[in-house]
Structure 1
Amino acid sequence: MSIHTSGSCPSDLTAFVADHFPERNIRPDAPIVQSWYRSVMQHRLDPHGIGEKHVLTASELREHQRLHQDYLSIASQGVTGLAKRVVPAGFAVLLSDEHGVTLDTRLPLQYDVYTQAGLIVGACWDESTVGTNGIGTALASRQAMTIHHQEHFLVSNFRLSCSVAPIYDAQNILRGCLNATCLNSAGPKETQYLTLQLVVMYARMIENASFRQRYRDRMTLSVKSHDDISDLANEQLLALDEQGRIIGANHAAFVSYQQERQIDLLGSRIDQLLPASVDELLSQSNGGARSLNLRTLQGDAPVGVSLRIPALQPQTRPRTAPAGNSEHPDLQRLGGSDSRLQEGVRRLRKVLDKDIPILITGETGTGKEAFARAIHQASARARGPFVALNCAAIPESLIESELFGYRGGSFTGANKKGMKGKLELANGGTLFLDEIGDMPAHLQTRLLRVLAEREIFSLGAETPVPLDVQVVSATHQNLAQMIASKAFREDLFYRLNGMPLALPALRERSDRDVLIDSLLSRHGQFQLTAAARQRLLDHPWPGNIRQLSSCLRYAAALAEDGRIDVDCLPAELQHLSLNTEEPANISAGKLAGRLENDEARHLHAALREHRWNISAVADAFGVARSTLYRKMKKYGIVQPNELF
């Protein structure tokens, strides 16, 4: 039986519906029927099955959220924005990852009925698990849609009406989706149309915010059709490297150029899309001061083009900017006045431009990516691309194509033009392999061969591409232990570990006092009281510099007359310092006694106020989610999710 992917429902699928779902008095669209077909024939599910809830354990969820920390921190603003508009009307808002696992939720006040329906953090809504549903089917079909009542595969989910939109990153990789779900809505599917439009709009906002955050130090272009000037979903965003090549884009741009016009977007020069080079765009726009009206080279109607030049850089072509004028801190600044780091920086300068791979190790939040960027900026490759790949954030099934790329027609569903991998995109510049310890074993072998032979064979390619990159890797894991347990290749370790750079934890640095003043100065002129400074110096900082920076930003926001006292600091610094040495498994029955502590009572009240949304409470306190999890563990505070 052939399965069509577009157009009206063909007769063979109509027969399939009549045979398997005769009791459903609806005429579903083709994507719904195709999902039903997958649910029955591929996933072997029973529509009348119990539909057991698949929920991550607390430890699995914490690790899952840690791996998606950057995605969560940016997307949470869009989740909150959508929630303000639909939660009062009885909708639950959910954010999922690319596997259908819910990472964040906003629920109505009467949230019990929603949690009983499985609308909780940690729940898995993958189509292979629960059949046709909003999150799972939107991810499988890669399109925005509403799954209404009987369109769900499982009868137990008939009361749900879900409007969902996928979310893509700046490399056009699916990161997850945004979902607004209501229960027992009385109207037909058409009543959810405006809800779906809101969801799509906020999904695009999340994509665009992620794009701007990722390329905040790059020249970016905004391209809008004059006919769709107010349509956020159609705004195209492009990021350029110093040679005017496209290194990232939002999903609207990928749809416009790759899907509709069959143009391989990443790696293309901007003058292959618009009738102007980077220099001409800068000149005509007066350094980005005014918008331009241009026609695309594909002969479309005129479009409005706006340039954004990175802050702290002169209004000229980025490649001419002085090295010391970069938004990113340089090696000297990162080294601070800590003797251990200064020695590391001294050694780094000696190996620059000598084709020696660098391996950066250190706890989460110690600044591994900042050092990688600083190494790139200090090298002779500074005018080349800096390409980062987080080996822990990309599904194992996608890492190979992300790293090595593929040629057109190499497999079903592949882009006709193919796709360049990170290795090829980084040619002439620096490739940063973050969380290298999480790279799958079979790809470790391929990467080792590439580094040894200095050439890339993309999937489906007949000839290799020469490789000229500086490789910088980073991990928070103990690779020596992974090698001993056969989880990491020893020969790859020696290939990557040309020069090791171990970043000390913040609690181990001798220049904490100076670092506090340096980070605080980014927010203006503030004076720390002696008591507040001592709290900052004594804190163990499990989240390291990232956590300290967040804490100081929070304190600066609360300061009055430029003075930061203890009461301006997050709650965790106002009370007892963190101590996670107590037993982890404290029963919920002991919670009442534990809550005699002011800090525990304050934390529990905040969690209840935010309906156990960890991201919202972390934002309110100005701390990392990992910190909240440790404190919940300390006081035996158990999330309602863990009861399922």
Structure 2
Amino acid sequence: MDRSSVEKLIRSSRDRSRSLHNLSSCTRSPILRLQADEINHRNEKFLDQIGGAASEVDRSVLLPSRSRYSLLITDAEGIVIESYAPEGMEAEFQRNGLVRGSVWDERVAGTNGISMSMQTGRVLTVLGDEHFYTCFHGFSCSSAPLMDAENNLIGTITLVGSVRRRQEEHALCEQVIRRASRQFQTRLFRTFHSDKLTGRALSQDPVSRRLFETLVACDDAGVVVSYLPLWRDSARPSAHQDLVGRHVSDLKDLNITLRGPVAVPPRRRVMHSDLPRIPDRIEKETTLGRLIKEGGRLPILAERARKLVAHRVPVLICGAPGVGTEGFAKALLEEQGLISPVGVTLDAARNGAEADLSEALTSVGFLSDYPVDNVVPTLILRNIESLSAEAQLVLERFLDVDPSMSGMKARPPAVLFTAGRAWSELERDDSIPRSLLYLLGQAVVELPPVAQRECDAVLDNVIAESFTDPIEIADSARDVLMGYPWPGNRREMHAVLREALICGNGRRINVTDLPARLLPSRQDAAKERPRASLKDALDSTNWNVSKAARLLGKSRATVNRWIASEGLQRPEQR
């Protein structure tokens, strides 16, 4: 709510407190408190309504350590059933009634954040002298309503702090409790509809740019049986109205993110008779077109892989570490126009990947059966050799389907896996069960190392992909780069170029800028002192003779003699 609307409501509440409730603002201890038995009874009733402890309103989540805010949770009648006071300030908050059992109904407590939030069903803050009672003028109270799965008020959550805090802190309190309130109601909605597929439906007003979010629940056929708007004012965006009875695939104006229950998500049995559409040839200016210029069997591998992706066959792209498996996977999707907002890229080596993978596979499966705007769902799963045991089971269930059933999907997904190891190594290792390994390896594309490619083309591609500013490479430096075997492949090449730019002048890479491991041994290098090496060292150091001497491993006097003997001059003196 805007502040003027809040102030208008507060004035109305203060008027009622005086004229209707006959309260006196000078009362020193106005808050009533219930007996312990009554508080316990109300607390048990509240926990029954929400299905046990709620992590969304947990003190450790909402309050940072050493916070100076008090947290209050009330039931639907404004009775505090849980309170947390800052350490060392318990007595002050207790003296002002900010404790379990206190009654914050407007008829008793006058104008306050809890009663205002219950009356309006909105998140708002009551500051200082906006409270009816004078004894509360030192406090700022930000309150949010807690609603159940059917939008019924079941309580409030409040953060209480000093009114002398900055305005930004008051706004932050509102933001924290608003988010907690929405997450709280989302969990209750999903619990209430635990036997159904639930999700979020989002839209944005094109003029005000305001986001609207609605929770939806679908039956086994994918038809919406219940929905719950998560905004509190009177706005009625048309895309969010009358959703019950409509199929999720028909909600064209909403961006839908679904998550499944324990049950298998519903499937629409539609025969997919469209023939795969494969571009006639790989365009040279696409990412895939630039990659195949690197040679080393890449043109043949790319042709095979693009046909497999077009037929929606899961493809495993593997090879030695650093060969660019993820970049190759993205290039395949890009070449066939499959890059979209519903595409998912996950890293199996990341902590918590099991939960993300489970949710991603559910979403991919559902969007395959119920496509939105003819968008093909895609999944790139990186580092499959790092899959945990739990994630392996989830992925095996997803992949282990009757091949004849794949054509029943309305929009089959494009699924790509990458591994930082050769296929032969994956087969020898027992970390991936055989039952899953050959599901992952239904089609295997093994990328060659950089040593088997056209190194010049690889170098140009790595520069184009990784560096925005143009880079000049001296001929002598390029010769060194071309002669190096690159055991770390494209990843090592990128690291070497980055190091050379940082250690050089940032524009041109000379031999003296390259790491020592790329260069010939010191004994071999001492046999010759070509003019180019001296020029490279001077160029890299912007003609700082002392620095150039250190790069060449010579004294400053020796370098000065070389400069004189070669007839070199500073660029500005030419």
TM-score category, normalised to shorter length: 0.3 to 0.5
| TM-score (structure 1 length as normaliser) | 0.37
